[in-house]
Amino acid sequence: MKLYITEEAREQLEKLKDPDRPLIRLFYDTEGCGCGVNGLPTIRLDSERRDTDREVDNDTYEVIIDDQQATFFKPKMKLDFKKGSFRLSSPDGILNPIISTKDVREGATV
């Protein structure tokens, strides 16, 4: 799995940088979506790796994903920042068009 981060997204991630949560986690958010298969691919800042995490190839940041959540993501993805929100997409289309900076800062619960 590979995540390309655009320059615009990098600039925003630098503004959100938190030494206590240095990892970027690809996260399938199901909160408020009804059940475990309904949700949105997103990103979160996180503080630690778990035994079930694996690395996501990226040239700039340490990016991780839980093995069980990897099925909800694509092999090649792009993280961009447009109109005040992060956007996660793949060659197949947009995975999540509106990822707020607030949500990224709140962190992940796997």
Q: Determine the pLDDT at residue 107.
A: 62
- Residue 33: which pLDDT band, with cuts at 50, 70 and 90? low
Q: Is the pTM of this model over 0.75?
A: yes
Give the pLDDT score at 40: 85
Q: Which CATH architecture has domain 2-106?
A: Sandwich (2.60)
Q: For residue range 43-65, what is the model confidence (pLDDT) as tens digits?
A: 999 999 999 999 999 999 999 99
Q: Which residue, 64, 92, 44, is CA-closest to 3?
A: 64
CA distance 11 to 18: 14
Per-residue pLDDT averaged across 84-109, rounded?
A: 88
Which tokens go with 61?
Answer: 């940041």
- At 103, the pLDDT band (50, 70, 90 cuts) reads confident
| 39 pLDDT more than 90 | no
Closest CA to 52 of 67, 36, 69, 63: 67
Q: Measured between alpha carbons, how far is 102 from 12 in angstroms, rounded to an integer? A: 12
